Chain A
């Protein structure tokens, strides 16, 4: 019996020693010693500020030179077609316009046409870029169906980035949900 108790006491003694070692550093309370105020980590700050790799800022002069490039509407002999919100299907009105546009293109076979798909400002830029791409392709497919050859056409989506009307209302949005058909060289 006695040996067993010695065993328990020894285990406890070792345990408390171990605990004392583990716990001592954590138990130190913050003091106001000046040394405590300059931990090594803060020394790093000094170096960091001096060697600060600030993001490459564009030079001030460049900002002053910059001319505002508001999207300029290219005049096109071809008429825009319009879409419903979050929709890329062609309305009867859009189809009628595409038929007129196709006639013009057949009469001007050397004119290359870029179909620009656009959206209104609602929704995310990213989804709208994909939606604009679909609108451009809807226009392209119908023109090909009407006999226009593919090499005469190209497509691009501007998503919500090139609004014709900068307004924030349904009237502006309706104008901006469109395919635009500029002639490109």
Chain B
């Protein structure tokens, strides 16, 4: 009996010891997983990175210059990411004849001398329509291999391979998955009518997915990235269509009298919030299911209620209402329908988009006859202006909440731009003819 009691008294000390040991192990663990780029710090220094031209590892000559095209895609992606200072290849001094793509054949001082801290090397081989590409990421300071990936596919899919490698590089250096395999849906007037298009994040690979020859508006992705909702005047009235992106079939899911506009998928993909007209042409928010059956009326007031955006937990909806006399952003509790006004500055606040992380709402505000993108906390506090040149509208978050894509007329015509969530690194991603508007960033499609 006696020793047992003593043991019980000693138990807390033993637990303490276990605790200390555990803490020790965790500290070691953190120290071993090095984060090269801390994306949680708003003003991160850009990491100097060099991308060495990829070597032809096979016997078939590279007639179509796949090598430089791969480097081009990767360089553009790394620029869009905003994390890197890309070292000018003209300053490279390593002898490409003697150097290899493995760490035993790299002359580290040749890279550290020109300021590189990270280095990407790689190779490829061609075989008819097939392409093999491999990329390797090195820490120049420590002279160390960090990660490598090899990809097999068709030559025509070289862009996808480059995007995958960039995602891997960013994952290795930041510890977070990046967005270069995602897609952007948007509205363009390229064909003479407003139609819905898809493109890669870098603006390439543009595909038109509607042929309504009418007015198509407001595309939004289903949470699984396989379907899309949009508004179209194809039948003469603004109706809501649900389109299967990969098979092409589309159905009208809401064709009430008057407006059927501004659809938003609930985070579970089972419900759709949208704006419908009620008596006297007043517009209200409703909840319908994917068969178009009405489930719930969300707003009841004299004002216009449009542009719903769900919080990631599905419990709240940010939307625009002019119930106070001018368009302002409100937050609605889906359960009890209570409403809180979030914006008080400016006479025009619109297009709220709840961040996938749930911590911010992006929107556009008109001040002095000019629209800009802002972000605020979901309670309306901490409002920050992110853009300043031209008119900037229609913000849409990347699925990891790190970037926003938006439309701007700062150069010529409306084009799409990507920036970091703090407004840094604003880069145009569309060009050419047509006005590009209403971008919608897909979920993480590449992870299916």
A interface residues with partner B (beta carbon < 8 Å):
3-4, 7-8, 11-12, 15-16, 19, 23, 26-27, 30-32, 36-39, 42, 45-46, 49-50, 52-58, 62-63, 66-70, 86, 122-127, 129-131, 133-134, 136-137, 141, 155-158, 161, 168
Query: Which residues of A have CB within 8 Å of B277?
Result: 133
Residue of A nearest to B209 (CB): A55
Query: Which residues of B have CB within 8 Å of A11?
Result: 14, 18
With A56-B247, A126-B275, A130-B306 in contact, is A32–B14 under 8 Å at CB?
no
Check if A156 sits within 8 Å of B145, measured CB to CB: no
Which among B73-81, B86-94, B345-353, B379-387 touches the partner chain? B345-353
B29, B191, B217: the one contacting A26 at CB < 8 Å is B29
**Number of residues of chain B lying within 8 A (CB) of chain A:** 85
Q: Map CB proximity to A onto B147-178 as digits: 1 under 8 Å, 0 otherwise.
A: 11111111001001100100000000000000
Query: Which residues of A have CB within 8 Å of B311?
Result: none
Residue of A nearest to B168 (CB): A42
Q: Does B12 lie at the interface of the complex (its beta carbon under 8 Å from any beta carbon of A)?
A: no
With A57-B208, A122-B366 in contact, is A15–B18 under 8 Å at CB?
yes
A145 to chain B, nearest CB (A): 14
B125 to chain A, nearest CB (A): 14
Query: Which residues of B have CB within 8 Å of A155?
Result: 258, 281
Q: How many angstroms between the C-alpha atoms of A5 and B327 in the bound complex? A: 73
Residue of A nearest to B32 (CB): A27
Query: Which residues of B have CB within 8 Å of A63?
Result: 191, 208
Query: Which residues of B have CB within 8 Å of A26?
Result: 29, 32
Q: How many angstroms between the C-alpha atoms of A70 and B21 in the bound complex? A: 73
B131 to chain A, nearest CB (A): 9
Q: Does B17 lie at the interface of the complex (its beta carbon under 8 Å from any beta carbon of A)?
A: yes
A32, A62, A67, A127: the one contacting B304 at CB < 8 Å is A127
B17, B151, B193, B194: the one contacting A42 at CB < 8 Å is B151
Check if B10 sits within 8 Å of A156, measured CB to CB: no
Check if B348 sits within 8 Å of A37, measured CB to CB: no
Query: Which residues of B have CB within 8 Å of A137?
Result: 280-281
Query: Which residues of B have CB within 8 Å of A37?
Result: 134, 148-150
With A50-B153, A62-B211 in contact, is A56–B245 under 8 Å at CB?
yes
Check if A157 sits within 8 Å of B259, measured CB to CB: yes
Residue of A nearest to B283 (CB): A130
B interface residues with partner A (beta carbon < 8 Å):
3, 6-7, 10, 14, 17-18, 21-22, 25, 29, 32, 102-103, 134, 136, 145-154, 157, 160-161, 164, 183, 191-194, 198, 207-211, 213, 215, 217-218, 231, 233, 236-238, 245-248, 258-259, 261-262, 275, 277, 280-283, 304-307, 320, 322, 326-327, 347-348, 350-351, 364, 366, 369, 371, 393-394, 409, 437-438
Most buried by A among B29, B136, B327: B327
Number of A-B contacts (CB under 8 A): 180
B226 to chain A, nearest CB (A): 9
With A52-B157, A123-B348 in contact, is A131–B304 under 8 Å at CB?
yes
- 6 further A-B contacts with Cβ under 8 Å, apart from A32-B136, A56-B247, are A49-B154, A55-B183, A57-B208, A130-B304, A133-B277, A133-B283
With A30-B145, A30-B147 in contact, is A57–B364 under 8 Å at CB?
no
Check if B157 sits within 8 Å of A49, measured CB to CB: yes
Residue of B nearest to A16 (CB): B21
Query: Which residues of A have CB within 8 Å of B21?
Result: 12, 15-16, 19
Query: Which residues of B have CB within 8 Å of A133?
Result: 258-259, 277, 281, 283
Query: Which residues of A have CB within 8 Å of B145?
Result: 30-32
Query: Which residues of B have CB within 8 Å of A157?
Result: 238, 259
Check if A68 sits within 8 Å of B192, measured CB to CB: yes
Residue of B nearest to A137 (CB): B281
Check if B281 sits within 8 Å of A67, measured CB to CB: no
